[in-house]
Amino acid sequence: MKKAVSVLIIFWSLSVFGQQEPQYTQYMYNTVTVNPGYAGTRGVTSLFGLHRSQWIGLDGAPRTTQFSIHSPVSRRGHGLGLSVMSDNIGPSRDTYINASFSYLLQLSDRTRLNLGLMGGGSFLEVDYNKLNLENNQDPNLTGKLSKFSPNVGVGAYLHSDSWYVGLSVPALLETSFYDDVQQSVAREKMHFYLIGGYVFDLGPSVKFKPATLLKAVNGAPLSVDLSANFMFNENLTLGAAYRWDAAVSAMAGFNITPSLFVGYGYDWDTRRIGNYNSGSHEVFLRYEFIFSSRNRLHSPRFF
């Protein structure tokens, strides 16, 4: 039964590939991937790596690996960033490479606006030889498809020491991919991201941050992520999240050192497909170059 379900998922993914970009449970730590305005806003050079295994137990289920680096590059707070992401679904692999630049506007003593621009592209590969076909003589389902699509994106990130709001479109160009018989097999479409969060001080050692991410794309339902995280003693982070009509999640993170932060997230799918898999796992690691107390991150360190 699992194999039958996974085959259906694979063909469904190929038919709408690119209409929903890879999703992350711990999106609040991964903002530069979808909003170039975030680049450099943490005040130090920040390295981030993440791996997500979705729908454990299903053949061909999505697996995503992502790496990013961003840093301020001027005293005014302008930033540069680079992100690389590989998304695997069944016989397909999509690799994204993007560079980001953000320009800081100091609106007041506490409020800052970063305007961002990103550019790069994606490499789509579909290996039909990985499919387990009943009729392997079909010439349209053999060999490999390989295409490159350049793209540009924009974003705005408004923030202070206790809150943030961001709006972005990571890919402005819409591209359709075709196989050797000119049949459309994938399409890149514009995605609109709206993010926001606020940090409340609940005491000398506890902080609370509710956050949300809304993702919209033409032809697909609106994706809504709601999360709530608590930080204890500036070291331990515990939280939960809900993806509207899709999944519930548990999250945990820990500062091993002032520079090194690790985190884990688990999703349980609330849709019918949840009956055929063991959930989704997500792990990440963030390292930041803190050389002295002058460039140590200011509290709160939630975003």
Percent above pLDDT 70 for the chain: 82
For residue 292, the tally of other CB atoms under 10 A from its CB is 6
d(CA 205, CA 234): 7
Structural domains of the chain, count: 1
Residue 139: inside a domain: yes
Residue 187: inside a domain: yes
Query: What is residue 187's three-state secondary structure?
Result: strand
d(CA 176, CA 18): 9
pLDDT in tens, 123-167: 988 887 777 766 666 666 667 778 888 999 999 999 999 999 999
Of residues 38 and 76, the one with the higher pLDDT is 38
Confidence of residue 48 (pLDDT cuts 50, 70, 90): very high
Of residues 16 and 82, the one with the higher pLDDT is 82
Output phi, psi for 13, to 5 deg: -65, -40
For residue 79, the enclosing domain spans 36-302
Residue 5: inside a domain: no
* Mean pLDDT over the full length of the chain: 85
- The reported pTM is 0.85
Q: What is the pLDDT of residue 126?
A: 85
Element (H, E) at 9: helix 2-15
Residue 250: inside a domain: yes
Residue 1: inside a domain: no
pLDDT in tens, 208-261: 999 999 999 887 888 999 999 999 998 999 999 999 988 999 999 999 998 999
pLDDT at 183 over 80: no
Residue 213: inside a domain: yes
Residue 6: inside a domain: no
Query: What's the CATH number where 275 sits?
Result: 2.40.160.40
Confidence of residue 17 (pLDDT cuts 50, 70, 90): very low
Residue 251: inside a domain: yes
